[in-house]
Structure 1
Amino acid sequence: MNVRRKLLLSASLATLFAVAPAVHAGDKVTLMVGGYEKQIYLPAKLAERLGYFKEEGLEVELLNEGAGVDAENEMLAGAVQGVVGFYDHCVDLQTKGKQVISVVQLSHAPGEVELISNKYPQVKSMADMRGKSMGVTGLGSSTNFLTQYLMVKAGVPLGEFTTLPVGAGTTFIAAMQQDKIQGGMTTEPTISRLLKTNEARVLVDLRTPEKTKQALGGTYPAASLYMSADWVEKNKPTVQKLANAFVKTLRYINTHGAEEIASKMPSDFYVGDKAGYVKALADGKGMFTVDGVMPAGGPETVLSVLSTFSKNFKGKTVDLSKTYTTEFVKKVK
């Protein structure tokens, strides 16, 4: 390329960048989702599909990770700026000296169930799972937390049952079919797939706030957008834009039917059964908050659940006020 052409190209690029809107580095955000095909994390993909991130001037990349604990580790390592995962990680991490906060509370129920293989009709309660293997998405995941709590609450101490990391979807189903697990905690659409084939039945249902209160003793805030407290403090304008997009998405979920919401999602999320996907969403979309605000009493329930079985909490004081904030969701117009 001769000098004259280089000068012309430079001038053209300068003109282009002069008129193009600036994209600040802080507006580029990578979020790790603990399985974005799961209905419990539907708001993340839905916000993207509705164009709400772009409306806020954000360039958001959603990365998929099957287990929430692995998504959490990616954030702590600095590979991503935030996680769409369960709030209980914020509480657990504080006992390990990590300050992580929920900035948008997406749901006030886990949206999960404890399924039992129909090969074991004798199992009538969690206590009957003593000595058996139970599937969870990952060790240290929220499904593992909740399974351990339900077993200890039923009088079965840690060490007298096994939790096996099997992921969700096809891997969870295969583990149950192969009898590697006799039960396990999972979410939609995996639940509906196993119920439809009559391979499993529901033992404990955490898909609605009402049933969750019966099983866990109170409201259990679950899916959330959580981030490092330091990153939030240094990037408040970007966090506000994320809160705007997620709260608008929650409002959309609250004001639209399951059929219309499902039509916005990638077709492979239906796993070949759109009608089943829509029904599960219709039955379960009440788990989502309408405004992203942490439900009253929710953090206390989470602390109570985790303290029941986790050694991390022994002799330690948790400041729940530092595990979430309503600063951003309260400012959404």
Structure 2
Amino acid sequence: MTKLPKLSTFLKSLFTLIMFAISTNSISAEKIILIVGGMEKQIYLPVKLAERLGYLKETGLDIELLSEPSGVNAVTEMLSGAAQGVVGFYDHTIDLQARGKQVQSVVQFSQAPGEAILVSKTASAHIKSPADFKGKTLGVTGLGSSTNFLTQFLASKYGVKNSEYTTLPVGSGSTFIAAMTQKKIDAGMTTEPTISRLTSTGAASILVDLRTLKATEAALGGAYPGACLYMPTAWVNSHKEQVQKIVTAFVKTLAYIQTHSAQEIADMMPPDYYKANKQQYIDSLSASKDMFTADGIMPESGPATVLNVLNGFNKAVQGKNINLSNTYTTEFVKAARK
């Protein structure tokens, strides 16, 4: 008769097998939450496109995408530990470092904001440039958001102090449109497809255009890296394999954008993203597709331009010794390109 192994030996063996199974599946077992500052915005198109193309699924990671209308609210969620990363604007990494928080962009989606300041039809007779913002109400996605940052900079550039106008958080998309058509705001900064939805009906006109690299360089003095995936530096350093998989998926997506037409890209997006006017969505994407980076690499002069913009008005940044090299990394993008 065959002797059974001692119970203690059996349990030790079972425990070893369980721990091995856990270790080999740990990378895919941990849920990774990425909050997007408005999933339907064209500036954040690479995120949804990566999901639709199956690139995020190919990572083998349990990734959940959540949409939050304002980037500043997404930052709060990330810092609280409710999310591992935010798809938002790079300028938050500098603002957060000035406030003692270390986060970094791990893949750069765009080299231009992809936004514009719109003026309502009724206010257009009185607002011809940012110099006319005095006494006006300006719409932004949220207080402390990137649209707020850029609006404040453009106002200060034209000699208008923050105290001389009112900023009103109105979100994006339908809520922004409602605020403008209901005359709650005189002007405001928003993105596509909201820009085209308002200008096509004559409800608004473009005052400052930041949708392309050329227009951005003229308005801000250089490339302005906007949309990116940024994460807490400590989490990046302790989860390099996961970060690499995510970045590789997004680098593949950026390559897809470069090699496919706006029509082909639009065909991959959910119908509710273009609000029953697909051609308008295609046209706006075609006109501003060059805002996306070709490979996820941070534009060489971009961080300095962003710091210069923030120094123009942001009291949290002014006078601080900002280490720009800590606000982004190219480590994962370069590995993905290989």
1:75 corresponds to 2:78: yes
Q: In the alignment, residue 242 of structure 2 is paired with which amino acid?
A: T
Q: In the alignment, residue 267 of structure 1 is paired with which amino acid?
A: P
Contact 2:28–2:60 at 8 Å: present in 1 too? no
Match of 1:58 in 2: 61
Match of 2:33 in 1: 30
Contact 1:26–1:238 at 8 Å: present in 2 too? no
Match of 1:5 in 2: none
What's the offset of the Cα at 1:312? 0.5
Secondary structure, in 3 states, of the residue corresponding to 2:87?
strand
Secondary structure, in 3 states, of the residue corresponding to 1:57?
coil
1:243 corresponds to 2:247: yes
- 1: CA distance, partners of 2:31 / 2:252: 19
Match of 1:278 in 2: 282
Match of 2:145 in 1: 141
Q: In the alignment, residue 98 of structure 2 is paired with which amino acid?
A: T
Secondary structure, in 3 states, of the residue corresponding to 1:30?
strand
Contact 2:28–2:61 at 8 Å: present in 1 too? no
Match of 1:162 in 2: 166
Contact 1:95–1:316 at 8 Å: present in 2 too? yes
What's the offset of the Cα at 1:314? 2.9
1:177-216 residue pairs with structure 2 within 5 A?
177-216=181-220
| Structure 1 unaligned regions, length at least 5 | 1-13
Match of 1:103 among 103, 106, 120: 106
| Structure 2 unaligned regions, length at least 5 | 1-16
What's the offset of the Cα at 1:158? 1.1
For residues 145-183 of structure 1, the C-alpha deviation after alignment (integer angstroms, 9 at most, x for no partner) is 000000000110110011100001111011111111000
What's the offset of the Cα at 1:137? 0.2
Secondary structure, in 3 states, of the residue corresponding to 1:62?
strand
- 2: CA distance, partners of 1:22 / 1:64: 28
Q: In the alignment, residue 191 of structure 2 is paired with which amino acid?
A: T
1:321 corresponds to 2:325: yes
Match of 2:236 among 232, 237, 248: 232
For residues 252-288 of structure 1, the C-alpha deviation after alignment (integer angstroms, 9 at most, x for no partner) is 0000001110111110001111110111111111100
What's the offset of the Cα at 1:24? 3.1
Q: In the alignment, residue 29 of structure 1 is paired with which amino acid?
A: I
Q: In the alignment, residue 241 of structure 2 is paired with which amino acid?
A: P
Match of 2:43 in 1: 40
Q: In the alignment, residue 283 of structure 2 is paired with which amino acid?
A: K
For residues 67-103 of structure 1, the C-alpha deviation after alignment (integer angstroms, 9 at most, x for no partner) is 0000111100000000000000000000000000000
Secondary structure, in 3 states, of the residue corresponding to 2:47?
helix
Q: In the alignment, residue 44 of structure 2 is paired with which amino acid?
A: Y
- 1: CA distance, partners of 2:275 / 2:254: 24
Of 313-322 and 253-262, more deviation after overlay is shown by 313-322
Match of 1:10 in 2: none
- 2: CA distance, partners of 1:100 / 1:257: 33
Match of 1:312 in 2: 316
Match of 2:89 among 80, 83, 86: 86
What's the offset of the Cα at 1:26? 6.0
For residues 92-139 of structure 1, the C-alpha deviation after alignment (integer angstroms, 9 at most, x for no partner) is 000000000000000000000000011122321111121100000000
- 2: CA distance, partners of 1:83 / 1:163: 24
Contact 2:111–2:223 at 8 Å: present in 1 too? yes
Q: How many residues align structurally?
A: 317
Distance 1:133 1:256, change over 3 A: same
- 2: CA distance, partners of 1:219 / 1:284: 14
- 1: CA distance, partners of 2:110 / 2:177: 25
Secondary structure, in 3 states, of the residue corresponding to 1:66?
coil
- 2: CA distance, partners of 1:190 / 1:23: 41
What's the offset of the Cα at 1:22? 3.5
Q: In the alignment, residue 169 of structure 2 is paired with which amino acid?
A: P
Distance 1:296 1:26, change over 3 A: farther
RMSD: 1.6
- 1: CA distance, partners of 2:318 / 2:37: 28
What's the offset of the Cα at 1:193? 0.4
- 1: CA distance, partners of 2:279 / 2:169: 29
1:123 corresponds to 2:122: no
- 2: CA distance, partners of 1:329 / 1:102: 11
What's the offset of the Cα at 1:317? 0.6
Match of 2:268 in 1: 264
Secondary structure, in 3 states, of the residue corresponding to 2:44?
helix
